Each structure stands twice: as structure tokens, then as C-alpha cells.
Structure 1
Amino acid sequence: MIDLPKVPGGFLTILADPPWRFSNRTGKIAPEHKRLGRYATMSLDEIKKLPVNETTAPNAHLYLWVPNALLKEGLEVMASWGFRYISNIVWAKRRKDGGPDGRGVGFYFRNVTELLLFGVKGHMRTLAPGRRQVNMIETRKREHSRKPDEQYKLIEDCSPGPYLELFARYPQPNWICWGNEASEDIIPQGKQHKGYDGGEILNIPLRPNEQLNPDSAMALGEYLRKQYEAGKSIQELAAENQYSICRVRTLLAKANTPLRHRGRKQINEKSNRK
């Protein structure tokens, strides 16, 4: 039997990001794939049997992360923990320019969103700020499976404490954490890939063939220029922003960016061998 943390009267708000196990076990999909150095997963029955109902107050809120492909299973888990589904919050994963980040997985559609299901046990409304809160978080992606830090303030504004986070990976103030990677001295598993380091969104939505107005083109060009002058290559800028190399060059030109000589490294290497 798994023991969860307890507080007098029970927790009023639970946040959980279970290690869901997918039926498709390919390397790109399965979180536990050894080649990717990710976390171990749990079966649906194992997740449903967690004694969440015993550690929560008679009236409580649940925020449950669930992959789009496992929505049905997420609703089952919510019910087994003693909560009824009310609504959801959508995490929209954005590129630097504010457009959808299409680097997600999916066999039928390219996933650029993830769902945070909201459930209630007993009868407890959200706090006053929650009635003004829109049900969307828009941020850039970070390392594998990491959810946006903005979730904590949103939850604290909308639901009362004490707070418990299940399967926590990055401990937060005001929260009691539980999970294999909850300790501050443990580095969560999972590789951080280029372009997955979060950061600001420029809010200049741009479709593949869309023409920018001059002001927007200049703003985006200046942003790319800073990254280029900091040492990033045009190829890296193109990959991170999901632009073509031609588009990156055009935007850099708009910002009057002096370009480094192409192939200078190779030319220097040939000179040194002579």
C-alpha cells in the first residue's frame, strides 16, 4: 500500500502529473524508453489505486495533467480518486514568435496542447480570482514532460491550500511534494534538447507563408539578431523557430545584421593544414 502525505483536515488542493503508460511503446512515444533516459511509468490500475481520496479534505480541488490520447483514462483516474470532472485548462505550447510549437508527438494530429483536468470533491467553488481566470496557459516548452511553472500561481490564485503535488519533479514554495523525483537533491530524468529552454514569447504570430508588416518584421529581426550575435547559427535559429533558413536570412537582413562568412570555419581549417 502506498502512503501519501497527510495534513490535519486533509489537503484542499491536489496537483498531479502521473507517469502515464502508453499502449504504443515506440521510442518517441513511450516515456519509459531506456534509450531516452526518462522516468518509469505506472499502469492505469496502479494510478487509480493511489489513496488520494484518503489524503484530501471532504471538499477539495484536483488538477490532473493528462495527455490528449489518454483523456478517457484521465477521467477514470479522477473518478477513482473521489473527484468529479468540472472543466479543464489548456496548455498551448508556443514558439518564440507566439505561433504553435509543432514539435509535439502524435500519429493523427501534431499535438501542440496538453490538458490539465479540473475536478471537485464535495462542494467547493474556486476562489474569486478563479472566476476571472481564463482556462489557458500559453508558454514555451521546456525539457521532456516538464509542465509550465505558471501553473502554480494559477492554482494558488484559484484554489485554497494546503497544497499537495503528486509526482512532483521541481519542488515549489507553499507545496508539499511527493514522488520519486520530488527531492531537491535529485535531478529529474530526461534530456533537455536545443530550443526547449522556455523563455519569453514575442507574440508575433506567423504562419509559414504569411507576410509580416514592416514593424513586426523589424521586431522579429531584431530579436533574431540578438540571438545570432550571441553566437547562434542561422541553422539553429531556423530549427528553434521552425522557420526556413531563407526566412531567417530575410529577417536578419531587415535588422541590418552583418552576417558571418559562410564556411569560414572550414576555410580556416584548410589554411591550417597547408
Structure 2
Amino acid sequence: MSSTTTECLASANELLAAHSVLVARIRNSQRNFRKQLRTLPSPPQGILKLPLIPTPPRSSSPSPPSSPLITPAPKPVRPDLPPAKRARVARYSNYVPEEETIRNDYSQHYVDSGEWPQNWVLGADPEHRFEEYPKQQRLLALKKAAVKQHALPPTFLPFAELSSLHPSKFDVILIDPPFSSSFSWDDLQNLPIPALAADPSFVFMWVGSGSGDGLERGREVMGKWGFRRCEDIVWVKTNKTTNRGPGTDPPTTSLLTRTKQHCLMGIRGTVRRSNDSWFVHCNVDTDVLIWEGDQSDPTLKPPEMYTLIENFCLGLRRLEIFGRARTARRGWVTVLAEGEEERIEEGMTIGEEADNVAGDAQEGAMRWERERWEGKIKELAGGGKPVVPVTAGESSLRELSSSVQSI
């Protein structure tokens, strides 16, 4: 199929998708107007009985094929090549024996198939990412065990009681703002984050795909809270299970196809990576997360984000704001988003504890109470700082920085 034919088909698919969205929007508008008309003292029955915008009938005759089938050109015979290279030439149409490489055009593949290039990143999932790096794999296993050993059961409270957390302080605050017509950037800025943040501490805040003003407003809000931006973590989405082919993406005003979400990371106070290894463990994870997403909840963020935070910041006092019942996590205080309190109750097991088949019973989720929570944090700290202690095994595997610099 020629590139011109492909472009025509893609354009036609885009027009059909845009038309479908337009028809759906008009029908919804008609339904809303009719609801308003029915509330009138004397509703106009003639208008209410009119049918919704009709769907055009399907064509009675079958559609002709989009384009004739083109027989691929025969591959040249290369008797001058050794058997191994001849086998690759026969198997791969884009194999270049002189360069000993396979040329892949992932951008054109996306145009033709709708599959995003990041679908082809090997070892993107955490379980297989460090298979060829045994020291890194060992380090992460040690950190996971240490975090689990020094973690309280999941605690939660509704968003309406957020102010009751004061005067407790937190080393890490994770925020996924539920932006809507009833929650704006001004509402986010008015949250009592400065009163809840310890010194030093970190804030991680999801700000969207970058198509709007999220990156700029996010930095502005963090600045007014007393944080300075130090990193930008990116969630790159895949569409291995949700891809429906080219031309099926909804219409958008973006110049590029948006396949990522940004999480700004801010720091309060001064933390030097070479001097403050009691509080931070640098260079354990990267700033890119690759995850398909959850079709049942498109706004859900990658679960790996919690592991990234736990690996980096050793503080035991972790807070998530606008969390869900399903994201309540051992070692975290979760301030539930609206409607999530109905999905959680004291004593229930969550996440890894719910899937525990080894018989290692864990204490279930509990409602947050300051005295009890702060008392247990002091017990874990053992009279020292409330942090996950670094073991000798972790220290031997950790890549130390020779320079003294502030994060």
C-alpha cells in the first residue's frame, strides 16, 4: 500500500472519529435540554417527542476494498554472504547485512499500526528490568525487605479531616490532584502542605500530560508551598492492550500525540546526597516509569511510583493525599479522595498483604489516630531518627557520589 493511500485512509478514519464524537455530543446536549424542558410548568410536548439526531443508515452494498493487494518485491539472492547473514536476509525484510543491523522505523510503525514506540522497550516492567544487573537486583531486594520491616500498617482518613493531621510532620507527600470544575489550582494551593511538611522533606505532585498549564502552575504552587523543583518524573504509557489501530485516537488540539504524564518532585530544606545518606538514597531508580495503565480507572497512576519514593527517601513518615482505597499502602498515611471512604474499612488487608499466601499475617488497615501513629513511629525509630536504616549490604552495593552537592 502506498504512503498516499495510507495517508488518505488515516485522514478518513480521523474524520469518522471526529464525526462520531460530534454526534455523541449533540445527542447529549439534546438530552440535557429535554431534561430542562420537562421541568417547565407547561413543557412543550411537541418538542419533547421529536427524535434525537438520527444515525445515518448503513450502506446496503458492501464497500469495495480500500486498495488492491500489492505483491511484495522478491528479495535479492546474496550468494556472497555467509550462511548466517543469508538466513537473516531471508527472515527480516529490513535487515542490512553490510551494517549488521535491523533498521526499525518505530514512528512509521505507529502511523501504520497505532502501536506506540514505547511498547517495544524490553525489560520495562520492574520484575525484569535488572535481570542482567545482579548487584542492582540484590540492592533493590534488600531495600524492599528493609522498607517492609520498618513500615506501619496502612492508615487512612477522609479528605474532610485533612486538617486533623496537624501538627504531625511528614518526610514525603504524594499528591494526585482531582482537577475538575469543583477543584482548581487555587484549591490545591490552599492545602495545608507547608504545615504538614517536615524540614527537610519532599513533595511529589502529578500535573498532567503537559498539554495545558500543569507544568507551569505546578512549579508555581510548589514554590508558594516553600518547595523548589528538583526533578521531573515521567510516566510513559503503553497501549499494548488498548490499541485499536490508526485513526482511532480521539480528536485533540495537541501538536503531538500525548502518551505521558508528569510528576514534579520538590524539595524543602537542604539535602546533600553525599552527607545525608541517612535520609536519601540516590541513583537507585530512574525518572521514567513505563506502564500500560488501568482500564477500569484511567486516572490511576503507576504503582511503581510508591516503590520509587520508598527507595529514594528513607523517611518513615509518608503521606498520600487524594489516594484511593486500593492504593492504601503499608507504611503510608492515605488521605482518601471523595467517595473512597466507602470502599475501605478498618481491619481489611490491602495490596500485597491481601495476596499474601505464605501465612505471614499482617495487621490490617486502620483509621489514622495521631497519638497511636506517632507512638508507633517512635518505636520503629528506636530512639533515633524516623528513617529506614541502611544495612551493611546496601552500603556495599550503593554507588556513592564523591562530590558534595545539594539535590
TM-score normalised per structure 1: 0.54
CA distance in 2, matches of 1:154, 1:105: 34
List aligned pairs for 1:1-274, cutoff 5 A: 3-4=162-163, 6=165, 10-21=169-180, 41-67=182-208, 68=210, 69=212, 70-96=214-240, 106-108=252-254, 109-124=256-271, 129-142=281-294, 143-159=297-313, 160-169=315-324, 170-181=327-338, 183=340, 185-186=342-343
The 8 Å contact of residues 199 and 269 in structure 2, kept in 1 or not, is answered as: yes
CA gap of 1:168–1:105, structure 2 versus 1, over 3 A, is farther
| Preserved contact between residue 13 and residue 62 of structure 1 (Cα < 8 Å) | yes
Gaps of 5+ in 1: 22-31, 33-40, 188-274
CA displacement, residues 109-160 of structure 1 (integer Å, 9 cap, x when unaligned): 2210000111000113575643232111001111221101111111111112
Name the CA distance, whole Å, in 1 between partners of 2:161 and 2:201: 21
Residue 174 of structure 1 aligns to which amino acid in structure 2? Answer: G
5+ residue gaps, structure 2: 1-159, 274-278, 345-407
- Secondary structure of 1:131's partner? coil
Tell me if structure 1 keeps the 8 A contact 2:321–2:337.
no
User: 1:184/1:87 Cα in 2 relative to 1: closer, same or farther (>3 Å)?
Assistant: same
Report how far residue 185 of structure 1 moved: 3.6
The count of residues paired between Structure 1 and Structure 2 equals: 168
More helix by share: 2
SS in 2 for 1:130: coil
Partners of 2:196 and 2:300 in 1: CA distance? 25
Query: SS of 2:230's equivalent?
Result: strand
Q: Is the 8 A contact 1:11 1:162 kept in 2?
A: yes
TM-score (norm 2): 0.37
Matched residues in 2 for 1:105 and 1:65: separation?
24
Equivalent pair of 2:166/2:195 in contact (CA under 8 Å): no
Native 8 Å contact 1:50 1:81 kept in 2:
no
Cα distance in 1 between the residues matched to 2:321 and 2:191 = 10
1:236 corresponds to which residue?
none
Taking the aligned partners of 2:250 and 2:281, their CA distance within structure 1 comes to 31
Q: Pick 1 or 2: higher relative contact order, CA cutoff 8 A, min separation 6.
A: 2
- Which of these two proteins has the greater Rg computed from alpha carbons? 2
What is the aligned-residue RMSD (CA, Å)?
3.1
SS at match of 2:171: strand
